[in-house]
Amino acid sequence: MHPWFVPVLLAASTVALPAAAQVWPGSPPTSQADVHRYRLEQQRLQSAEQAAFARQQGLSTRLTRLEVEAARQPQPYVPLVEPLPSSRGTATSSVAGSTARREAVSSGVRQIDAWLDRDPR
């Protein structure tokens, strides 16, 4: 062996070390296609993880919404139709009130009909 062989070997190994500093799971990739496949797989895994998280958040949201709706106080019962009057006096006043409303509406209609029936000028 030549005396300069060991220093050259040491110099070559120190130059090659920074290139080998990239850490890949398993063995380092041998080609650009391997690097591409590795990165695509990492993106696929990340996408699947994000989709699972989104599904989990959706289920959590639905569960929280159902819990909030279940904790609400029920709406009081409001009948759609007014109850019948219980005494004779209120029945007479409601009939008189409805008669007055009906006459007010019909008088307004009579005025409109009279205006529409006027002679054209």
Give tens-digit pLDDT for 13-41: 555 444 444 555 666 667 888 889 999 99
pLDDT at position 83? 67
Compute the radius of gyration of the chain from its Cα atoms: 45
* pTM, full prediction: 0.38
Q: What is the pLDDT of residue 37?
A: 92
Residues of the chain scoring pLDDT < 50: 16-21
pLDDT reported for residue 20:
47
Q: What's the rounded Cα separation, in Å, for the pair 95 and 105?
A: 15
- The neighbour count for residue 85, using CB atoms within 10 Å, is 13
Residue 29 contacts residue 38 (beta carbons within 8 Å):
yes
For the record, the structure tokens of 12 come out as: 């070559």
**Would you mind telling me the total number of residues written for the chain in this entry?**
121
